[in-house]
């Protein structure tokens, strides 16, 4: 049985989009397709005029690493790596010298306000700080867009607001961002909300 049906979605560069919908409506499935982690059984998906279907597995892995930044509800940081080393991770696949990797990572940590936590391990950081490290990691490759699956789902209200401030700031600087959220307050902070129900887009509105 198809999970998603008749999906027709276009996101333009520089948008900040929330995806909402009840549990089981297909949000994560859609996100996995947008993030090139999964492919649809039919239909076409293009990122900047590249049809994802046309890429080999290797090319797809490179494409994903380079073009898409992921932020997850549970941060997904590597526990044995420091904040800086976590941010460096997406750069290790690229042909970049270690000093340049280090420099870029510290620059990103500075942008998320964590210069003083670069050498801390994830377990030494608060939830909000962990998510800021994850955002720095998502942005360090200068991706085409950022995808967040409930990025504030594990955070208290005040910390969620700080994380949304950060997303908004990067969006104002031109980053395209797509966030899944259960929280109307979070969606309200985005320019546009797409609602899914039973695998279909039932509403797509400007906030
Ligand atoms: N790998 C899979 N194989 C078969 N069915 C799946 C698979 N993954 C998800 N589904 C089904 O697809 C539907 C949508 O799931 P999805 O995880 O996309 O929902 P969601 O909107 O993200 O829900 P939640 O808010 O609970 O995270 C569900 O009915 C689920 O059972
Ligand atoms: Mg989900």
Measuring from atom 28 of ligand 1, which residue has the nearest CA? Answer: 24
For 102, other C-beta atoms within 10 Å of its C-beta total 17
Burial of 165 (0-12, 13-18, 19+ CB in 10 A): exposed
Lookup result for tokens 């460096």: 88
Distances (CA, A) of 158 to 19, 21, 152, 180: 21, 23, 10, 18
Distance 69 CA to ligand 2 centre (A): 17
For 152, other C-beta atoms within 10 Å of its C-beta total 27
What are the tokens at 57?
A: 């597995």
Q: What is the pTM of this model?
A: 0.93
Buried b / exposed e across 19-37, counting CB within 10 Å, b at 16+? bbbeeebbbbbbbbbbbbe
Distance 65 CA to ligand 1 centre (A): 24
Write out the chain's pLDDT in tens, 207 residues: 889 999 999 999 999 999 999 999 999 999 999 999 998 999 999 999 999 999 999 999 989 988 999 999 999 999 999 999 999 999 987 788 999 999 999 999 999 999 999 999 999 999 999 999 999 999 999 999 999 999 999 999 999 999 999 999 999 999 999 999 999 999 999 999 999 999 999 999 999
Distance 75 CA to ligand 1 centre (A): 20
Per-residue 3-state assignment (H helix, E strand, C coil) for the chain: CCCCCCCCCCCCCCCEEEEECCCCCCHHHHHHHHCCCCCCCCCCCEECCEEHHHCCHHHHHHHHHHHEEEEECCCCCCCCCCHHHHHHHHHCCCCCCHHHHHHHHHHHHHHCCCHHHCCCCHHHCCHHHHHHHHHHHHHCCCCCEEEEECCCCCCCHHHHHHHHHHHHHHHHCCCEEEEECCCHHHHHCCCEEEEEECCEEEEEEEC
Closest atom of ligand 1 relative to the 196 alpha carbon: 21
Pocket of ligand 1 (CB under 6 A): 3, 21, 23-29
Closest atom of ligand 1 relative to the 182 alpha carbon: 25
pLDDT digits (tens, 9 = 90+) for 41-62: 999 999 999 999 999 999 999 8
């Amino acid at each position: 049985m198809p999970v998603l049906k008749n999906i027709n979605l276009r996101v333009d560069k520089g948008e900040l989009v929330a995806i909402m919908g009840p549990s089981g409506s297909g949000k994560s499935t859609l996100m996995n397709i947008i993030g090139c982690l999964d492919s649809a059984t039919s239909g076409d998906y293009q990122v900047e005029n590249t049809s994802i279907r046309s890429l080999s597995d290797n090319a797809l892995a490179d494409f994903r690493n380079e073009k898409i930044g992921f932020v997850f509800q549970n941060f997904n940081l590597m526990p044995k790596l420091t904040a800086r080393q976590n941010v460096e991770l997406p750069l290790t696949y690229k042909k970049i010298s270690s000093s340049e990797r280090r420099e870029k990572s510290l620059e990103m940590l500075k942008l998320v306000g964590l210069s003083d936590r670069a050498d801390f391990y994830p377990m030494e950081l608060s939830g909000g700080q962990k998510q800021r490290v994850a955002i720095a990691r998502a942005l360090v490759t200068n991706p085409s867009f950022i995808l967040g699956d409930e990025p504030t789902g594990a955070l208290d209200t005040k910390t969620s607001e700080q994380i949304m401030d950060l997303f908004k700031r990067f969006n104002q600087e031109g980053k395209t961002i797509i966030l899944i959220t259960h929280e109307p307050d979070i969606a309200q902070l985005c320019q546009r909300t797409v609602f899914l129900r039973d695998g279909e887009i039932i509403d797509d509105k400007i906030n």
